[in-house]
Chains A and B, each alone.
Chain A
Amino acid sequence: MTAAAGVQHNRYWTNTKRLFGSQEGILLLLLMLLIIGVGLYNPRFTTERNLTDIFNANAYIAVAAIGISMVIITGNIDISVGAAIGVLVALSGTLAVELTAAGLPGPIVLLAAWIAPLFGGMLISAINGLFVAYLNIPAIVVTLGTFSILKGGLILIAGGSTISALPDGYSLAQQDLLGLPVPIWVMAVLTLVAFAWMRWSRTGRSQFAIGGNAEAARLSGIDTRRQLMVTFIVAGMFYGIAAVMFATQYNTIQTVVTPGLELQVITASVVGGVSILGGIGTVIGSTLAAILIRTIGAALVFVDISPFWLRAILGVLILVTVLADVVRRRRQERM
């Protein structure tokens, strides 16, 4: 009896340890400590409105980070994500304005402007995937190239103009559903769906296998090229969704690529515990990291630190994350 209870207790303890020993657990703990700590210092921080704003503002980064986490887990990288989102944002806004001007009925215009970026993202990523999977060119080089092409192409076509006079109802990201802003719902649902897909689908499982050891994955019968291609295309769809969330959050759209957006997305993924060497990570981690990053940014104002220090803090955060990961792995190896 007592022995069984001991086992029970042990298992409970191991599970607890596993939760807070994982990157996701640590991030959750940090997030809670930060919110409580800053809230005690300045109660205005923990008002419901402020917290909702925090969760809302980085939701598109979280969604894009889901896509890039898949790519990084396969051992690849995507530098073009920021430029792709910039182009897709412009695509969405342009479609909304042009189709309205062409006299199409409202619902069709909205549907087109919300759906087209998804296909656009899949197309852009499919081109990247083609070069990476079938022509064996390193992802960092290919996506550096498409980054330049997309960034330059957007300036060439749109010239940095501002799109305004968007049709009624276009602002998806500003609407509420059951008391919460739509982006929070999108972020939460997509994170859970992507987590399940990566955990239990054939492509999801093979992403980890390819990132762990691409040659071994190929020899054990995984069609690595095809699975890489699918991964890139699915990631592109997430960039498309992120672009729609970005495009619809304000009443005007700037047709320029946000500088450094790719780094924000990659940072969320890496701080979330996705190993840049591939094979390890979850999208729950990357979403929590996206929220944590935004929370730190918002908290600075409430504790009277200049927001200009944010990037330095993020740099330290990445470094600490990776160092903690190294320490953890060395300890595991010793055990």
Chain B
Amino acid sequence: MTTANPARNGSEFSVRLQGILLRQETILFFILIGGVFLMSFQSDVFLTPENLLNQGRLAAEIALIALPMTLIIITGGIDLSVGSIVGLTAIMLGVAWHNWGLPLEVAIVVALLVATACGAFNAFFITRVGLPPLITTLATLALFRGLAEGIAQARSVSGYPEWFYILGQKDFDFFGTATVFPNQLFMVIIGIIAIGAALAWTPFGRSLYAIGNNETGARFSGMPVRRNKFVIYTLSGFMSGLAGWVFVSRVSTTRSDMGNGFELTAITAVVVGGTSIFGGSGTIVGTVLGLTLIQLMKNGLALSGAKGDSTTIVVGLVLIGAVLLNTFISNPPARLKRLLPGQD
């Protein structure tokens, strides 16, 4: 009679341990370690600093986009237009420099301003007019890509000066000592720290979770819901602009189809990282782990001989697996629930 529920005994420690172990981030971390371990047997090249850092270079653009996307999905929204903003930024950069004859530094600023304006355009329709984010950004996905195509008229711009490629193609030069650290990863790291800290430790960040859980409740408790939503969609435009700049610098050329499908990869990384698509939960650490997992899986498969884009199979499998896992953790089947402590 006294031992009605054996799980209750010494429950505090086990509950806390279970809390840490069952977090999506922890599980992802172990999957990542396991995956890296397995793939290091497949290829001698895989587990070298050069290869891993080069994967960082390839994933940098998506990373820049996935950071604000995490904030947006936490509020229960979505931004489908990011890939198109990448394309429009690239075109604006090329056109402002090549056709308008502006200095390249000014052209970069113009392109970033256009990208930020695109984000603010989305933000206006979502927060002021009250349109659903899915439909607003579906419209601007077409609109921004269409502007890029219309302005470019299928012409590409290349032949940038040598200094422009330092950001995208060169490694960090540590006082004359060559390293293998790609330059654009600094931008990514600053983004991770700034956005991660803002999300985790500021009233602004906390309000995003509140909006995702209950938007009306958040508004009634006095949070600046509209303003904060406006900020994150505008930020998403700006970060997509940065991604466009890095992308042009990495591949040396400007085309209007750049960034096609980036939105889907970024959303996948965010969801794999444990952010709920319904909003209300998620972390930047999770998104970084999710993106790392996806990129390394693709790389591992490519090194073991998979053809081109066929590696997206693993992205899809990881996505569905991660969401199943997430659902399973937050709502385990009744039979299992009884076996676990602290779930009742």
Contacts and interface: CB of A to CB of B under 8 A. Distances in A.
Contacts of B136: 319, 322
Interface stretch (A92-100, A139-147, A222-230): A139-147
B197 to A, nearest CB: 28
Interface in B266-297: 267-268, 271, 277-278
Interface stretch (A45-53, A209-217, A309-317): A309-317
A135 interface: yes
A166 B319 CA distance: 37
A159 interface: yes
Interface string A52-91: 0000000000000000000000000101000000000000
Given A141-B323, A155-B309, A322-B131, A311 B142 contact: yes
Interface of B: 78, 125, 129-132, 134-136, 138-147, 149-150, 152-154, 256, 260-261, 264, 267-268, 271, 277-278, 306-317, 319-320, 323-324, 327
Contacts of B310: 152-153, 155-156
B135 A270 contact: yes
A315 B139 contact: yes
A149 B316 contact: yes
Interface stretch (A22-30, A115-123, A237-245, A259-267): A259-267
Contact of B142 (A135, A259, A314): A314
Shortest beta-carbon contacts, A-B, top 9: A315-B143, A312-B146, A311-B146, A148-B316, A152-B313, A149-B316, A315-B142, A152-B312, A156-B310
A195 interface: no
Interface string A284-296: 0000000000000
B85 to A, nearest CB: 12
Contacts of B78: 140
- Greatest chain A CB density within 10 A among B308, B313, B327 is at B313
A34 interface: no
26 contacts: A136-B327, A144-B271, A145-B317, A145-B319, A146-B320, A147-B316, A152-B312, A152-B313, A152-B316, A155-B309, A155-B310, A159-B307, A160-B308, A259-B260, A263-B138, A263-B142, A267-B138, A267-B142, A309-B149, A314-B146, A315-B139, A315-B144, A316-B143, A318-B135, A322-B131, A323-B129
A306 B256 CA distance: 15
B153 A306 contact: yes
Interface of A: 77, 79, 131, 135-138, 140-142, 144-153, 155-156, 159-160, 259-260, 263, 266-267, 270, 276-277, 306, 308-316, 318-319, 322-323, 326
Given A138-B277, A263-B138, A319-B143, A326 B150 contact: no
Given A152-B309, A323-B129, A312 B260 contact: no
A319 B141 CA distance: 11
A306 to B, nearest CB: 6
Given A326-B130, A326-B131, 13 more contacts: A144-B316, A146-B316, A148-B316, A149-B312, A151-B309, A152-B313, A152-B315, A156-B310, A159-B307, A259-B260, A312-B145, A312-B147, A312-B149
A151 B312 contact: yes
B141 A155 contact: no
Given A131-B320, A144-B319, A312-B146, A319 B139 contact: yes
B152 A308 contact: yes
B313 A156 contact: yes
A142 B299 CA distance: 23
Nearest to B131: A322
A319 B125 contact: yes
